[in-house]
Amino acid sequence: MAKIRTNGPENYSRPIRRLLVGILVVLLLGLFVLWRIDSPRVERFRAALVDAVVPNMDWALAPVTRAMAMIDNFQSYTRIYEQNQELKRELQQMKAWKEAALQLEQKNARLLDLNQVRLDPKLTHVTGVVMADSGSPFRQSVLLNVGARDGIRDGWATMDGIGLVGRISGVGSRTSRVILVTDTSSRIPVTIQPSGQKAILSGDNSPLPPLDFVEDDDEVRPGDRVVTSGDGGVFPAGLLVGQVVMGSDRRLRVALAADYQRLEFLRVLRSHELETISDPGGLIAPPLLPSVPLPEVDAEGEAAAPPAPGGGSVADQGSGDAEGGGLSASGGADG
């Protein structure tokens, strides 16, 4: 059975599309040929055509302009993102430099504090850098990068920029150990000013070591200054230790002047040489004075020599009277 063709829009759309495409192709080919002809007349025609058509084509160029603007904006956003990442990297570097500058400033301040501390002019010192603890039996100790080659000896006091930190206990060739005053093995004789009370600063592994054996607790007030007394010759006298505070357990304790949270540099004080005591009795008995030899008397020469005028009778008389008095006294006692 034959198909019946109906006259509808679909039967006309396809030929119309073909016709329009053909016309567009012819126009494009004509424009191509027109722009390829090298002739003065054709050149004037092209200029007139451009002047007549292009100003009226703004509406057609608007999407292209918007698209180009979007592309430029995207490229600009990409550049801004790259600059932002670069600034973030520079900011991280600046933070690292700032931290390094702060550390150097703190070290400089600590060194300035060390230079400004007023000590006994006789006490020379060696400054060392604090190293990590090597894990000794002492729970409160640090290591210094100075040792026997720098003249360090056991028992010397160590200070930071302000107060007493501890004492040298163990010296190697290039390092030495410092026992802090907060360690349980530390016992330091101190003086509490202005009352002048003597006490013992005993370490207990706490930041506020207690004061033991205070002579008179009533004379001590919170805020009093605590310095080394120099008793026993272990530490020089007058080194600042801290201030008296009242602990939560109602015991007198010391707020240490040294900053134990930031021990970077320590000053090792060269103590005076102490006399070696070989005789135990020398600790108590006073030193003996040198004996003066008595002049020798020649008895035979004095007997042979003539008596001095008036001297012999007085001596004899005195001697006789003394003997007589003695006899009468003895006789009286017998009687």
Give the residue numbers spanning the domain of 163: 125-269
Count of domains forming the chain:
2
- Listed residues 269, 300, 329: the one ending a domain: 269
Question: 0.85 exceeded by the pTM?
Answer: no
Looking only at Cα atoms, what is the longest distance across the chain? 198
Q: What is the mean pLDDT of each run of 10 residues along the chain (335 residues)?
A: 55 80 86 78 78 68 77 84 89 82 70 58 74 62 88 87 86 89 89 90 90 88 89 83 90 89 83 57 54 55 52 43 41 40
User: Token match 């080194």: residue?
Assistant: 239
Give the span between the Cα atoms of 43 and 36, in whole angstroms: 10
| Same-domain status, 99 and 150 | no
Give the span between the Cα atoms of 212 and 190, in whole angstroms: 10
β-pairing verdict for 176-180 and 141-144: antiparallel
CA 188 vs. chain centroid, Å, equals 23
- Listed residues 61, 91, 116: the one ending a domain: 116
β-pairing verdict for 187-193 and 225-228: antiparallel
Residue 290: inside a domain:
no
| Same-domain status, 87 and 139 | no
Residue 303: inside a domain:
no
Q: How do residues 231-253 score in pLDDT, each as one tens digit?
A: 877 788 888 899 999 988 888 99
| Same-domain status, 138 and 73 | no
Residue 1: inside a domain:
no
Q: How do residues 14-71 score in pLDDT, each as one tens digit?
A: 888 888 888 988 888 887 887 777 778 777 877 777 777 666 666 666 777 788 888 8
| Same-domain status, 198 and 151 | yes
Provide the H-helix boundaries in 37-163.
Answer: 40-53, 58-116
214-253 burial: b if 16+ Cβ within 10 Å, else e: beeeeebeeebebbbbeeeebbbeebbbbbbeeeeeeebb
